[in-house]
Amino acid sequence: MRISLNRGLSENTEPPPSPLCRFAPPVPNTFEDLGLNQSFVVDLVLRRLLLEGFSSLRSLSQALKLAISIIDIVFKHLRAQQLIEVKGMVGNDYSFVLTAAGRQMASDRFALLQYASAAPVSLTEYVAATKMQSAQVQVDRVAMRGAFNDLVVSDRLLDQLGPALISQNSIFLYGPSGNGKTSVAERMLRIYQDTILMPYAVEVDNQVIQLYDPVVHHRVEMGSQDIDPRWVRCKRPCIVVGGELVPNMLELRLDDASGIYAAPLQMKANNGIFIIDDFGRQMISPRDLLNRWIVPLDRRVDYLSLRYGVKFQIPFETMVVFSTNLDPSELADEAFLRRIRNKILIEPVEAEVFDQIFHRVFTDRQVKFEDDAPQYLRSLCLQEGREELRACYPHDICNLLLSISRYEQRAAFASKEDLSRAVNLYFAKD
């Protein structure tokens, strides 16, 4: 699975101030505010104590992302049940361990579920937060040009992409391979100038679904300490999957050893973008995938099931981008294509655009070239029955030129001879 982490911003660049006023959950100080059963939290504390050995109120509060007031309630309950034993004081804090009875109970709880990290949020709160943080985009051609400034794209394409992004409905990118469909799709994330809050985990029927994934979700430090610490501030996610997509990636997956559910990809992509690259070449058939998503795309809700049959609803607040070089009519019927509101053809490039890409690529890679090199490369690419210019040709040919120069231990130069050598390596012979 390929993951894109807001490539429109450098890793060291803080995004502009985010409109988190739409969702800024305060720190819960009571179980009523927390939204979790007290017995669930007691079991969570017991599992954490089993792992830590010696612990304290502050240590538990930091590990489980819970207020001291809630930890104190659980502490008093466990002490009254003689499940913990106080060993001393550290300042104003208690130092304590599990008793023999406490270790036995904690072991029993751990055998059922091994989750002992940040306390989850309730399903109800997650649903409300996801809907509240649905993307609201306002762009024009100037903003679009800035978002795609490292690609050579026409105003015509930008004028198609802009309204599609404002609508936040699904997008179907199609056309011959090598013309930048994936590059265009991944740069769509740059239109988002805000951040979101995402929970570490979600509780459903006393089960834990782990949602926050540091591989997928690019964390941004909280600007305010008054936010419920069970939520992580992140850039909007972008998940890219290709031929490796299989049906179980779209369903809850239970780890039998730990008893913890992993969130499906579309849940991890909520409030962001989910790109299905090379659509039609997955192990799951296009028809099966489309049938799985007819309701989510139409109604913006999805349905997941726990292993023992409990079914529940989650928001489907992700913009799905299908990218394919196959004929759309061969992949889906009219009923499904109607649900994909935006269909954008990424066409082969014109000669002028090809030359612009050539200049940009070769200049960026510091490969010198003669004035007529772009035109000469165009003529080579259109030989032997090839009728279309692809946006990928300059980049791929430049890489081959660099390999040739390293092989011959000399500086790279886009001479006619080397361009011909690279093109002969690149294209298969009829």
CATH number of the CATH domain containing 390:
1.10.8
* Cβ neighbours for 374, distance < 8 A, ≥ 6 positions apart: 354, 355, 358, 359, 394
Question: Which range (60-74, 145-159, 334-348, 380-394) has the least confidence?
Answer: 334-348
| Same-domain status, 154 and 19 | yes
Q: pLDDT grade, residue 3 (50/70/90)?
A: very low
Q: Taking 60 as the threshold, does the pLDDT of residue 321 lie above it?
A: yes
| Same-domain status, 131 and 93 | no
| Same-domain status, 94 and 108 | yes
| Same-domain status, 325 and 355 | no
Q: What is the structure's pLDDT at 13?
A: 37
Q: What is the pTM of this model?
A: 0.87
Q: What is the structure's pLDDT at 420?
A: 95
| Same-domain status, 64 and 182 | no
In a domain, 136, yes or no: yes
| Same-domain status, 290 and 142 | yes
In a domain, 31, yes or no: no
| Same-domain status, 205 and 298 | yes
Q: Final residue of a domain: which of 345, 360, 380?
A: 345
Give the mean pLDDT of 297-312. Answer: 94
| Same-domain status, 243 and 277 | yes
Q: Taking 70 as the threshold, does the pLDDT of residue 20 lie above it?
A: no
| Same-domain status, 298 and 331 | yes
Q: Taking 80 as the threshold, does the pLDDT of residue 225 lie above it?
A: no
CATH number of the domain at 49, please: 1.10.10.10
Q: Taking 80 as the threshold, does the pLDDT of residue 27 lie above it?
A: yes
Q: Is 168 in contact with 134 (CB distance < 8 Å)?
A: yes
In a domain, 86, yes or no: yes
Q: Which residues face 377 on adjacent strands?
A: none
Q: Final residue of a domain: which of 345, 369, 403?
A: 345
In a domain, 176, yes or no: yes
Query: Domain span at residue 388?
Result: 351-426
Number of compact structural domains in the chain: 3
Q: Taking 80 as the threshold, does the pLDDT of residue 2 lie above it?
A: no
In a domain, 51, yes or no: yes
In a domain, 378, yes or no: yes
State the average pLDDT for the chain.
90
In a domain, 32, yes or no: no
Q: What is the structure's pLDDT at 1?
A: 54
Q: Which strand ranges, in their side-by-side order, compose the sheet holding 207-210?
A: 121-122, 201-204, 207-210, 260-262, 253-255
Q: pLDDT grade, residue 295 (50/70/90)?
A: confident
Q: Is 223 in contact with 234 (CB distance < 8 Å)?
A: no
Q: Final residue of a domain: which of 299, 318, 345?
A: 345
CATH number of the domain at 237, please: 3.40.50.300
Structure tokens at 33: 């505010």
| Same-domain status, 46 and 79 | yes
The tens digit of pLDDT for each residue in 30-85 reads 999 999 999 999 999 999 999 999 999 999 999 999 999 999 999 999 999 999 99
> In 126-206, at which residue ranges do the beta strands (DSSP E only) sit?
171-174, 195-199, 201-204
Q: What is the structure's pLDDT at 223?
A: 67
The amino acid that residue 163 corresponds to is P
| Same-domain status, 371 and 277 | no
| Same-domain status, 269 and 303 | yes
Q: Quote the CA–CA distance of 229 and 223 in Å, as a whole number.
A: 12
Question: Which range (150-154, 304-308, 314-318) has the least confidence?
Answer: 150-154
Give the mean pLDDT of 373-387. Answer: 93
In a domain, 29, yes or no: no
